[in-house]
Structure 1
Amino acid sequence: MNTLARTLIVATLVAAHGVAGAGPRYYGPPPYHHHHHHHGAGLGGLVLGLAVAVPLVALASRADPAPEVVYVPPPAPLPPPAPVRPAPVIYPRNGQSDVQREADLRECNRWATTQPAAMADAGVFQRAIEACMDGRGYTLR
């Protein structure tokens, strides 16, 4: 319970005590010449104080503290993807057959996966395949 809520509850109880205990108390039949002043709130002050304080205590204990505001910066933009060149057209320089070209291309793909950074960068992978196929006697355009 915060300090403000405690202060309000105590002030309310003190005020209720004062209101309930204010004024003279007259005892006996009329004429009211003889009166007694009783100090303190008595049962009326207690009832009034509790009637006001109990709901205040419930409100104060139920009140949620203000939510903490946390600044979260927006995520950094991702770099644009590197342009991927279309697969080149492969021409045999030494009269290789289509079956041989497919076998060489499979071997060059397998070899390209072993090159540093080829699996993380499509451009590096493509250049590795082109270098391999050039080495096996093919022209790429």
Structure 2
Amino acid sequence: MKTIARVLIVSALVAAQGVAVAGPRHYDRHYHHHHHGHHRPNGAAVGAVVLGLALAVPLIAMARQADRAERAPEVVYTPPPAPLPPATVYVPARGAPVVYPRHGQSAEQQEFDSRECNRWATTQSAAMADAGVFQRAVEACMDGRGYTLR
């Protein structure tokens, strides 16, 4: 667009200048030109200049607009930030509960039941990823085997 506009501007100005310079010509050998020390432009020359400017001014404006469009900063789409993950609630780890046998189990039996409950807790969903889930699974198992936990 910019190159086309500039070519049209130059063409309009050259054409206007050519018409203005050409002016009327008198080829009669008896035509005498009287010089009075000043020149008045004839109507055709003034019309050609006006016509040239009438064509050139809008074309100049178009070229400037094309230049501004080329220099305009490119609009870049920036996606919104990703949503934050849900907040996690921090629950301080509690110490291991004290286990009391409810049915008179021996220390060896309590140790065996504790190992079995730990092994069973590892099979529960989310127990390996969440210590709280693991602890609750162990406690439920020990309660089911007849122990009181505090």
Q: TM-score scaled by structure 2? A: 0.46
Q: Which has the higher relative contact order, 1 or 2, with Cα contacts under 8 A spaced 6 or more apart?
A: 2
Q: TM-score scaled by structure 1? A: 0.49
